[in-house]
Structure 1
């Protein structure tokens, strides 16, 4: 019988204890799930999340794959003891959550809803532009970025997509590389960052690139905290060059109480909730990969160690 070590921590097991066995049964996988440190030589698959129960993967010589519960892998991909295939979480529920967060905040800033929520005095009947008159830049065209771009384009926003390497997305104008990034940012009223954390994306939005944005542009970051140079972002906001920043991820989490983002009139903070893994749907992704492993089929969502995601 296949042996699965759920090494993502006791708190997460409380969420998965019903869903994962049910998903395995639905996938036709006969398996034993253990949650306490087993004999490593008996483990076929490891279900893992950062902060879980393993830091050294060396003893797990029989394990066919490490199956992550997070979309991001930057906290594990550099672990030199992890030589087994690593699969990241790509889950429809997670994707839907990200699309809803991004769409909600794009519409909020597009319609200038904060003005009315704050209850500005007076009777101002200047209507916002239509979506087809607003350009949104989507930095990152992976699973999440592509889904958000398609949804926003479906609402008639002019969506520009950017990625580090050439990509095409039907109905979306795309660009790549440094020159493409400048072209995209210089046209964007709203920019969304949905890229993985890698050495190449560290401080992608620095002072120089933030300066490419039109005056009053809005930045949304539900991707990774390291994508933005925080000091440069604060300087642009304080100078009034940027209109607002809505941020879901940060270099330090939880965000310290004395951080300059807190209480800043041009910054909105959400506590890393844009795309949460839902145990019900994530368990099915894990079960499908185990079924594939047992059937000798390729794993889904394998991490490319050279690229870091």
Structure 2
């Protein structure tokens, strides 16, 4: 994967850009046909996300309130959580309808030791509940990926964030190559890949197309691709930007679905500002997963009551 990802496949990127520029209804119609051919359209996975270690991250990601570089955010740093407390929260999420439980730590990279051993305990505990387990912990070494696989980890999240040409505008403390190297280790350990990006960070349409082209160049495609819209947080370098408009998210979802037919496309951060109708269009365009709950690590989400209303809208109406 790594050697092939040093440059973007121009043909794939051109195709992605053409799709992103296509008339919206035409694009959604094509994506819906691909989605229906490869998936049960009623299958929308609910995933729950928990921050197991919040704040103090040494990375300088311009969008992230957990970065230690963005001191004006004022985020309260929290210590690493106890594994049993995490498993108890996973049980609550499962009772609320979540099928996948995702755990995130604000680390630059995984370090061997007690905290990583505790993560392995968390993974085992979540899997014992019968849930899928996903973690996002930063950069990994091969032996650490294998330890996660041995613990039963379902998926490792490690987003590309944006296209390679725009990446340095967003992150200076690691490279695109670093990201791809970790994904290589994840794949080699037999763990499924959860890898997507964020739109609305000031990138061009071509940058969005390049990111999707890189993802679509993976062989096999990532099993999971989260599409996030920036949630501008005051105190971060991107805190002044406007929220992404729903049609932009719909276009990204539809293009991802066409380029990666078998992938689970996750409607992720930023949908808290979308109406039920906006989200239904995203599902029609090929999204088949959401993060379910009130909080995404440290950012607001739609909330359980609003999501329940969303799924009630999607459900069939019984004949009286």
The structure carrying a bigger helix percent of its residues is: 2
TM-score of the superposition, structure 1-length normalised?
A: 0.32
Greater relative CO (CA pairs within 8 A, separation 6+): 2
Larger radius of gyration between Structure 1 and Structure 2: 1
